[in-house]
Amino acid sequence: MAAGAALLALSIAPLSFAAPPTFSKEEQRLRKAVDDAEMCFHFAGEFNGDGSARDKEVARQQRKHCGKESQQLVLQAYRKNPQDVRLYPAVLRLDGLMPGLTLPAAEKARLCAVAKTELACP
């Protein structure tokens, strides 16, 4: 019985990981902006505010990944094509992190239903 459960768990496990979004050669700048949004979100949760060496490293990473230009590129692409599901996780991660960006509840729910971005969705 335990072997059967283990086999079932192994067969389901690969289905739980989504493939990273695919961007064309011409969209590599947008791909980097989407990746930066993920890293910006990640490092926002790492900052302790205690002035430690770790905080200094986190601040350095935030400067590297939380650039306004990159964030604007994601939002411009999303506004141009709000049905582009590749952008949903990045837009959800930038929600609340980016000054002036707060998604309406209905829009956030729509994106969350598709993206299932655990940390950014309730």
Per-residue pLDDT averaged across 95-107, rounded? 87
- Could you report the per-residue pLDDT of 106-115, keeping only the tens digit for each? 999 999 999 9
For residue 87, the 8-state DSSP code is: G
Kindly report the average pLDDT of the chain as a whole number: 83
pLDDT of 59 above 50: yes
> Which residue has better confidence, 25 or 9?
25
> Which residue has better confidence, 111 or 17?
111
Give me the residue spans of the domains in the chain.
Answer: 26-115
Query: What is the per-residue DSSP string for 70-88?
Result: HHHHHHHHHHH-TT-GGGH
Helix 28-44 vs helix 68-80: crossing angle, to nearest 10? 120
